[in-house]
Amino acid sequence: MSDPRFTSLRDRHEALGASFTDFGGWQMPVRYTSDLAEHHAVRQAAGIFDISHMAEFTVKGSDAGGYLDVALAGRLSALPVGKAKYSLLLAESGGIIDDVIVYRLQEDDYLIISNAGNRDDVREALTVRAASFAVEVADVSDDHALIAVQGPRAEEILAATPGIADVSIPWAEQRYYAWASATFDGEPLLLARTGYTGEDGFELLVPTSAAPALWDRLLEAGAPLGLVPAGLAARDTLRLEAGMPLYGHELGLETKPSQAGLGRVVVTAKERFVGKDAVDAPEGAPVLVGLVAEGRRAGRAGYSVVTEDGAVLGEITSGALSPTLGHPIAMAYLTPSSAAEGTAVFLDVRGTRIPATVTALPFYRRTK
């Protein structure tokens, strides 16, 4: 077993009193104070997250766009410079190796950000698939740190942070799933208007050595505006409310995109891409749904979803008592016959059947 890894912000987290947990081989802050307080701060003001465990890859070369069209499920050659796109890296079986975000930095230069736990599998797949293309794939994960500032006051906080300069696009003109270039204390800074919380926000990519100073400066500028450090526990309830899938829970090698509601991400009209011949889910395969229940007892990952008579309909993949909505929510894979919105089902919570209703995702959507 390899030793646990820490990000370059370990000292900052320890000084803030963080509790740590293993995540994809990394020791990451799970909370600093209270899961609820950190969650509510993101919904009402802003939270700052260390997400430096995520993996980054660059794809450069004259064939970059065409290569990514084959390597990934989307049509990345059509992505404009300055924009970002959510996509899927599929296996030959049509299952999901990872879900990624792709940024087009220049005409022949792309950045891919993937999940920490899938770094080795993503590197291998991207490298093997590059063999017949004029491209260079590089794993640059260790060169960069990634900090997310999420919440309705995120833009205001970044604009007030000393050291952030040379912003290529005025703050008010930066759009969701797009990026701007900037500098921080003279070092290159990529400002991506993306996130995993359902709120407005940014993910900031900087050289690893610059991350501690950027973290400090963001906290100093943001504290008067309600910014708090937030850990993985809050990040998980935030993304669940927003109906965003998590690899290893809603997504995996045994999952076809259409089962997870991600059929729109797959451009089947492309002449070829890895997994195309097997991307369709078999008839009757379970599909991802949202579930809402009353009371305070939440279904958790692995709990069964059943009929009133106890017949198993499927399994919960993520569940929690929603801090924002005040009632239990969950995502689950159910048989298609029980997946229609409004269908009454039961959650088997340690032997007690809790009434629940199938609902559309997401559970929460920001109003502006």
Q: DSSP H helical segments within 202-285, as ranges?
A: 211-222, 232-241
- Can you tell me the distance from the alpha carbon of 255 to that of 283, in angstroms, rounded to the nearest whole number? 13
Tens of each residue's pLDDT in the chain, 368 residues: 568 899 999 999 999 999 999 998 999 999 999 999 999 999 999 999 999 999 999 999 999 999 999 999 999 999 999 999 999 999 999 999 999 999 999 999 999 999 999 999 999 999 999 999 999 999 999 999 999 999 999 999 999 999 999 999 999 999 999 999 999 999 999 999 999 999 999 999 999 999 999 999 999 999 999 999 999 999 999 999 999 999 999 999 999 999 999 999 999 999 999 999 999 999 999 999 999 998 999 999 999 999 999 999 999 999 999 999 999 999 999 999 999 999 999 999 999 999 999 999 999 999 87
Q: Amino acid identity of 320? A: A
Residue 4's pLDDT is 86
Residue 139's pLDDT is 98
The backbone torsions φ and ψ at residue 150, rounded to the nearest 5 degrees and listed phi first, read: -125, 135
Residue 368's pLDDT is 72
195: Cβ contacts below 8 Å, ≥ 6 apart: 148, 150, 201, 202, 203
In this structure, are residues 255 and 285 in contact, taking their beta carbons and an 8 Å threshold?
no
* Token duo for residue 198: 């359902």
- The answer to pTM > 0.75 is yes
Q: Which domains does the chain have, with CATH numbers?
A: 10-51+142-241 (3.30.1360.120), 55-133 (3.30.70.1400), 282-359 (2.40.30.110)
Residue 1's pLDDT is 57
Q: How many other CB atoms are found less than 10 A from the CB of residue 352?
A: 9
Three-state DSSP class for residue 305:
strand
Q: How many other CB atoms are found less than 10 A from the CB of residue 272?
A: 8
The full length of the chain comes to 368
- Can you tell me the distance from the alpha carbon of 317 to that of 288, in angstroms, rounded to the nearest whole number? 9
